[in-house]
Structure 1
């Protein structure tokens, strides 16, 4: 059985806040680890509400709606780490989090299967024109015909962005007998018989179904637009379960109305409501053979449970062990435990001479370092030190005086 570590700060005084109805898996994880002050709220909070709520919070868990702005982060004086219980971290001001030595984690792989399955399901619904037939049946109209309905087998799936979700979708598509081609800005090792093409134009012109799996970056904003929608194969289908800003929806609606595209499935939008029940509008509403869903690509019980486990584990390992693997802000580091020591975490600006000053300060006061790791990124450095436990409190005070120090924490 693993040794149970006791943090320097009593667990009953550590405040954890989970927003946006994060899976109970996360709440259970921390409760069972001895953290009683876990608060869970169903929705996102606006900036001013979050500033009031976050002041005494040590760990924060959010999903994609909560915006962790510079103003919010600067108000969070006790915040040690943020867990994004989703794929992305674009809702967090990572630069400000880095400046304040706040570790930011996410779950880049946990909902991969859920999104990939929905892409395949949407492809079948659209290529069979199920939406038209479903609507007619609900209206009491019998509409049995094969006109405009096709099998996926033998069709070409074009994947834009061959990362975790794109490659998983590739495998499922091939299992259904589809030919898979993909476009990515980097050279990727194909799964199965998938083939990478050199240009976006080539991929669009050859694909019966095009699915997007790219991050939200300046380079991906409106990447499907007026200038390249014309390259889509006549009668093809577009699926966007990636990010809301990557498709110009007004132009997409135009090409759907004109019949150049035979269908579309969209799950993400440039603007999305803050909570369930809020009014929502998009240029795609009311169009035949358009499947609209409210950002549910990763919303399965399995995915949310997996995300809960993944991010909770990362937050826990940082809080109790100082491990930062998976962090987007604090450099990735892991130091094995040392017997008879206290562990100190030191986060500082990445400027020359900090490690030398740390060692000089400690050795000058005859404090022996029994273990030490350093890792830096462009902005900050992260040092984990194991110190003789008889001298750890003195060491903490000395480390606070080191030039460039952002944060010092006695772990245990």
Structure 2
């Protein structure tokens, strides 16, 4: 069995924000027992105290691993975001500290797509407004503004995993799908690519957004874009809160240009379920407001827990960084029983590999296998070697200028 430089009994694993119990189960089955579970994110002072000796950290979308919180992580080895996004993590600082960050980019794909499809059906039938009036004792039986999905055009912005899954569901409901993506994406079924967002908007009955939060996408749907949508169209956003100008959306609804919307993500969201939710959209009966639950199904949470926990365990056990969002990706085989694995994380600059190789040769250590990958300013080299003691070579490697971190597995 591979022996870590720090034994599993001493590796502190912290899981915040009610990460699904399957994650803890996977860690325990693999021999990790120093596990600390928190249903929410503690206040900053308490959180920083917890993080000071944490080696592996699991969070969801609310915990901010930035600034003082990240600075408190003196021993942090790896981070897992048990969700799709990583906006809550200072990726650049994690990279510079040699800390890989893992997420679950595909595990809740079906859950989000199903919610969006359900909301599209409800919007087209005018259910949100009828439901709201019924709760106030008003009987609003009418076919006005109530339509089937069949024959309607769905515009999808961002044809990635969720957008393409939604396409399949929408076509099964008889919708025509047109999509825009900044990358060339092959169409599915009878869907059609459109060359620009401006060309797409006037053609749709429903617009659904499925893009990440980047400088390019923030406020990409504002007053100008909403005006390009046909009168009576609908907007669905289950992607990121900063993509839509909420004030512009509220105005479009107020003047009756849009017939409704479904919003699951917001520019500012409550820190916990006990905090109030405020939005200019609260006044509209024809708007579906959901509390960022696109991926909040039991199935998705199980998938996410297993995917992210597995990535963290593999990195801890053998150094594999496959699908890390901020780190050179290396998929490593199991370590042979007679070898020692030395992992060197360093600044990606000329001469590093030469110095690393020289360190081993000067110690007369044979390198049985070597793996190297770089990403931007970071290099990650892994060597399986024959040596009785790793202490001398580790000390020499740490002295190389530009070394960020050295790990050893026996």
TM over 0.5, shorter chain: yes
Counterparts of 2:43 and 2:242, CA distance in 1: 21
For 1:9-408, what aligned pairs fall within 5 Å after superposition? 9-336=6-333, 337-408=335-406
Most deviating of 302-311 and 138-147? 138-147
What do the CA deviations read for 1:29-67 (whole angstroms, capped 9, x no partner)?
101111111111111244443322100000000111111
What do the CA deviations read for 1:302-354 (whole angstroms, capped 9, x no partner)?
00100000000100000001000011222111232334101111101111111
Q: Secondary structure at the match of 2:177?
A: strand
Contact 1:46 1:66 in 2 (8 A): no
Counterparts of 1:127 and 1:93, CA distance in 2: 40
Counterparts of 1:391 and 1:360, CA distance in 2: 18
Q: Secondary structure at the match of 2:3?
A: coil
Counterparts of 1:377 and 1:141, CA distance in 2: 60
Most deviating of 295-304 and 46-55? 46-55
- TM-score, normalised with respect to structure 2: 0.97
Counterparts of 1:126 and 1:410, CA distance in 2: 56
**RMSD (Å), alpha carbons:** 1.2
What do the CA deviations read for 1:188-241 (whole angstroms, capped 9, x no partner)?
111111111012122110100000001101111111101221101110000000
**Shift in Å at residue 399 of structure 1?**
1.4
Contact 1:349 1:379 in 2 (8 A): yes
Contact 2:123 2:261 in 1 (8 A): yes
Counterparts of 1:228 and 1:78, CA distance in 2: 47
Counterparts of 1:168 and 1:299, CA distance in 2: 17
Contact 2:98 2:345 in 1 (8 A): yes
Contact 1:111 1:304 in 2 (8 A): yes
What do the CA deviations read for 1:134-186 (whole angstroms, capped 9, x no partner)?
22333333332211100011100000111111111011100101000001111
Q: Secondary structure at the match of 2:144?
A: coil
Contact 2:365 2:387 in 1 (8 A): no
Most deviating of 260-269 and 356-365? 356-365
Counterparts of 2:317 and 2:164, CA distance in 1: 35
Contact 2:221 2:245 in 1 (8 A): yes
Counterparts of 1:226 and 1:146, CA distance in 2: 29
Aligned residue-pair number: 409
Where in structure 1 do 4 or more consecutive aligned residues deviate above 6 Å?
A: none
Contact 1:70 1:96 in 2 (8 A): no
What do the CA deviations read for 1:248-288 (whole angstroms, capped 9, x no partner)?
11110111111110010001011011111201100000202
**Shift in Å at residue 5 of structure 1?**
2.5
Contact 2:373 2:380 in 1 (8 A): yes
- TM-score, normalised with respect to structure 1: 0.97
Counterparts of 1:399 and 1:216, CA distance in 2: 38
Most deviating of 283-292 and 394-403? 394-403
Counterparts of 1:204 and 1:238, CA distance in 2: 11
Contact 1:348 1:380 in 2 (8 A): yes
What do the CA deviations read for 1:90-109 (whole angstroms, capped 9, x no partner)?
11111110110001000000
Contact 1:44 1:274 in 2 (8 A): no
Contact 2:2 2:337 in 1 (8 A): no
Contact 2:2 2:409 in 1 (8 A): no
